[in-house]
Amino acid sequence: MKVVVCIKQVPDTKGGVQFNPDGTLNRAAMLTIMNPDDKAGLEAALRLKDQYGADVTVITMGLPKAEDVLREALAMGADHGILVTDRVLGGADTWATSTTLAGAIRNLDYDLIITGRQAIDGDTAQVGPQIAEHLGIPVISYAEEIKIDGDSVIVKRQYEDRYHSLKAKMPCLITALSELNEPRYMTPGGIFDAYDAEITVWGRANLVDVDDSNLGLKGSPTKIAKASDKVRKGSGEKVTLDPEESVAYIVGKLKDKHVI
Amino acid sequence: MDFTLSKEHEMARTLFREFAEKEVKPLAQEVDETEQFPRATVDKMGKLGFLGIPVPKEYGGQGCDPLTYVMCVEELSKVCGTTGVIVSAHTSLCVDPIQTYGTEEQKAKYLPDLCNGNKLGAFGLTEPGAGTDAQGQQTKAVLDGDEWVLNGSKCFITNGKEADVYIIIAVTGVVEKRGRKMKEISAFIVEKGTPGFTFGTKENKMGIRGSSTYELIFTDCRIPKENLLGQKGKGFNIAMHTLDGGRIGIAAQALGLAEGALETTIRYVQERKQFGRSIAQFQNTQFQLADMATKVEAAKMLVYKAAMKKAEYQADHKTSYSVEAAMAKLCAAEVAMEVTTKAVQLHGGYGYIREYDVERMMRDAKITEIYEGTSEVQRMVISANIIK
């Protein structure tokens, strides 16, 4: 069984967010982590490795320094790492990203592709399903539980107020929620092995069946008009009243704002 | 000279920090209050390989260098001095001598279980009348047929009742050196559960209260002949060399305690307001923190240097890391005591309250100036190397 996990290096929001003049994130200037939903997807794949001996390949598109997130995945137990990096791929939106990743994955044998539901930097939840669309395979999103049943997967899918239990024939794509599991830690020895391991680096030339018009900033239909950090809220209005007066005051304010 | 850590070491630090923050920190106060040995944490560390970091993979270890091990003890100690010393005593004082002096059979028998946490290690040198003066040993081992018979006791033993494998130093005879009669000292591997091996008093300590510190008692305790570690009569050298390595571990613990107290205090002084502004805005606070940070950085350089010197020793046994280890421990322990004391002072009254981490850190720091060779002993080691 061969599993491909798409992972993304995202800004560690604890370290603050910085933007480029064109409104895209200045990834080079920020501390980074493995996207939490992707980490849960990787853990799900590693459990398939523990249980069924699955061969796990992690793939990421990004700057050369995104290699670090692949090493982290290897230190957790993934078998192979592929970095897709090329200047022409920079500034990609979800469409260009999914086109790129699908173009890379076409080089691989796979039974299952796992992606995170969404990345904490873009929050679009589009790349996973788009990859499935490009590759013409079924997709089950928002997975909270994954089981293998012969040549199929059975997935407990989170819905707004219930769960769906869905079965799909492999090959298929699953998008994982961080609630899916508690990702394992790396091991100290695993870290040193990960840095000895070879990472496969692919560029534009390695992408199969993709058109240049669908790649990078130029191939991205989404244009960011403006981006900014969150504006801090003011301290608000403070009043000191006894409980009865407080109730009247609050109700009055809510009425003024037509909340009630 | 390169002061940049490799990416591997940076990632290892991330791992240790994440584990310490998630798994160790939430329990630190309770472990201290209740004197509860953190068994669940030790089991988790065993599964992740934290108990065999500098051991070759062929013996079930992680195959990393001493610096990686030091960073593990450092990060654990930033949030919990107890957890730091458990790993340090286990790795430096039990795993290391078996790895260094054990026969292939001993290594194959003990190291895999010690590395994966199935078993925990301890080291017994100190006796009521023999601490710093290792020649004052009273515990005796007499060969009787195919067995060594141990009689005596050891005190202040870290991981005391929780360990499974113990390195025990005992007198095996008398030898004459330069016309003087000296005790012949040897080292042994003793397993928990051996008849005649029992535990005495549990020590009620000022700090590192969750670590299990016990008296070990040997009464006609018979162990197999093959449990002699290294050569007969070489026990004193084994003990001293083991303590050289142990000092790097304790130096890392002290460094972690100092760093933890500094980080906690940096956060606190920015939140705490007096006279209408945060106390971080007062020059006294700024100068105190500047001194603390500078001393912590100096200690870190010495500790990391000692770890790297030990790696050199592992590649070439002709080198020695004894002086570097002594300097690292002396400096880091005294910095830990000074920084944690200043941290309490900067916290004011809150620093004296149990709910605040710096109170525990200050109590934990004191022992680093005492165990595995007092600061005075480190000065003896260092000065003996200067004045020859």
Residue in B256, B215, B234, B29 with CA at minimum distance from that of residue B126: B215
Q: Tell me: pLDDT of A42 over 90.
A: yes
CB contact under 8 A, B15 and A191: yes
pLDDT of res. A13: 73
Q: What is the mean pLDDT of residues B322-351?
A: 98
- Mean pLDDT (chain B) is 96
Q: What is the mean pLDDT of residues B325-339?
A: 98
Q: Using CB atoms, which residue from A185, A187, A192 is nearest to B8?
A: A192
Tokens 């939106």 -> residue:
A93
Q: Tell me: pLDDT of A229 over 80.
A: no
pLDDT of res. B313: 94
Q: What is the mean pLDDT of residues A154-164?
A: 90
pLDDT of res. B5: 94
Question: Closest Cα of chain B to A191: distance in Å?
Answer: 6
pLDDT of res. B30: 97
User: How does DSSP assign B88-142, residue by residue?
Assistant: HHHIIIIIHHHHHH--HHHHHHHHHHHHTTSS-EEEE--BTTBSS-GGG---EEE
pLDDT of res. B45: 98
pLDDT of res. B214: 97
Segment of A205-219, B76-90, B128-142, B169-183 carrying the highest mean pLDDT: B76-90
Percentage, residues of chain A above pLDDT 90: 69
- The strand ranges marked E within chain A are 2-6, 9-11, 32-34, 55-61, 80-84, 112-116, 139-149, 152-158, 163-169, 172-176, 199-202
User: Global pTM?
Assistant: 0.90
Assess whether B75 carries a catalytic annotation. no
Token reading at B274: 């007096």
Top-confidence residue, B331 or A224: B331
Token reading at B185: 């000292």
- Phi and psi angles of residue A80, each rounded to the nearest 5 degrees, phi first: -140, 150
Whether omega for the bond prior to residue A171 falls within 30 degrees of 0, making it cis, is: yes
8 Å CB contact between A189 and B52:
no
Report residue A118's pLDDT band, with 50, 70 and 90 as the boundaries.
confident
**Cβ contacts of A241 within 8 Å, gap of 6 or more:** A249
Q: What is the pLDDT of residues B198-229, one digit of tens each?
A: 999 999 999 999 999 999 999 999 999 999 99
CB contact under 8 A, B48 and A75: no
- Phi and psi angles of residue B153, each rounded to the nearest 5 degrees, phi first: -150, 160
Residue in A42, A217, A224 with CA at minimum distance from that of residue A122: A224
A112-116 vs A2-6, strand pairing mode:
parallel
Report residue B132's pLDDT band, with 50, 70 and 90 as the boundaries.
low
Contacts of B24 in chain A (CB under 8 A): none
Q: Tell me: pLDDT of B135 over 80.
A: no
**Cβ contacts of B70 within 8 Å, gap of 6 or more:** B248, B249, B251, B252, B303, B304, B307
CA dihedral B343, B345, B350, B354 (to 10 degrees): 60
pLDDT of res. B307: 98
Q: Which residues of A touch B (CB under 8 A)?
A: 68, 71-72, 75, 185-189, 191-192, 194-195
pLDDT of res. A22: 75
pLDDT of res. A232: 67
Report residue A57's pLDDT band, with 50, 70 and 90 as the boundaries.
very high
8 Å CB contact between B28 and B20:
no
pLDDT of res. B207: 97
Q: Tell me: pLDDT of B142 over 90.
A: yes
Sign of the torsion angle spanned by Cα atoms A143, A146, A149, A153: positive
Cα–Cα distance for residue pair A85/A203, rounded to 1 Å? 5
Neighbouring CB atoms inside 10 A of B110's CB total 23
Q: B187: buried, middle or exposed (CB in 10 Å: 19+, 13-18, 0-12)?
A: buried
Percentage, residues of chain B above pLDDT 90: 93
Q: What is the pLDDT of residues A120-151, one digit of tens each?
A: 877 788 899 999 999 999 999 999 889 999 99
ipTM rounded to 2 decimals: 0.92
- Mean pLDDT (chain A) is 91
pLDDT of res. A11: 85
Cα–Cα distance for residue pair B26/B32, rounded to 1 Å? 12
pLDDT of res. B26: 97
Q: What is the pLDDT of residues A71-101, one digit of tens each?
A: 999 999 999 999 999 999 998 899 999 999 9
Strand partners, B369: none
Residue in A202, A228, A223, A204 with CA at minimum distance from that of residue A215: A204
Percentage, residues of chain A above pLDDT 70: 97
Q: Tell me: pLDDT of B351 over 80.
A: yes
CB contact under 8 A, A188 and B7: no
Cα–Cα distance for residue pair A53/B227, rounded to 1 Å? 40
Q: Tell me: pLDDT of B161 over 80.
A: yes
Phi-psi region of B205 (alpha: psi -120 to 50; beta: other; left: phi over 0): beta
Interface mutation target, options B10, B48, B68, chain A, most CBs of A under 10 Å: B48
User: How does DSSP assign A106-174, residue by residue?
Assistant: TTS--SEEEEES--TTT----HHHHHHHHHT--EEEEEEEEEEETTEEEEEEE-SSSEEEEEEESSEEE
Q: What is the mean pLDDT of residues B296-309?
A: 98
Top-confidence residue, B306 or A179: B306
Q: Using CB atoms, which residue from A75, A188, A195 is nearest to B53?
A: A188
Q: Using CB atoms, which residue from B8, B57, B61 is nearest to A191?
A: B8
Contacts of A191 in chain B (CB under 8 A): 8, 11-12, 15
8 Å CB contact between B210 and B31:
yes
Token reading at A8: 């993304």
CB contact under 8 A, A71 and B48: no
Tokens 């047929």 -> residue:
B145
Domains of chain A, each with CATH number or no CATH: 2-214 (3.40.50.620)
Token reading at B181: 């009669």
Contacts of B51 in chain A (CB under 8 A): none
Question: Closest Cα of chain A to B25: distance in Å?
Answer: 16
pLDDT of res. B158: 97
Q: Which residue of B has its CA nearest to A33?
A: B14
pLDDT of res. B157: 97
Rg of chain A taking only CA atoms, in angstroms: 22
Token reading at A20: 């480029």
Question: Closest Cα of chain B to A69: distance in Å?
Answer: 10
Sign of the torsion angle spanned by Cα atoms B346, B347, B353, B356: negative
CB contact under 8 A, A189 and B61: yes
Whether the CB of B18 is below 8 Å from some CB of chain A: the reply is: yes
8 Å CB contact between B248 and B306:
yes
Cα–Cα distance for residue pair B344/B255, rounded to 1 Å? 17
Whether the CB of B311 is below 8 Å from some CB of chain A: the reply is: no
Report residue B44's pLDDT band, with 50, 70 and 90 as the boundaries.
very high
**Cβ contacts of A132 within 8 Å, gap of 6 or more:** A113, A138, A139, A172, A173
Q: Using CB atoms, which residue from B19, B63, B72 is nearest to A192?
A: B63
- The strand ranges marked E within chain B are 121-124, 140-144, 147-157, 165-177, 180-191, 197-202, 214-224, 228-229, 273-274, 277-278
Question: Closest Cα of chain A to B86: distance in Å?
Answer: 18
Chain A to chain B, count of Cβ pairs less than 8 Å apart? 48
Among candidate residues B271, B338, B372, B376, the one labeled active-site is B372
Cα–Cα distance for residue pair B246/A143, rounded to 1 Å? 48
Q: Using CB atoms, which residue from B11, B19, B61 is nearest to A191?
A: B11
CB contact under 8 A, A189 and B62: yes
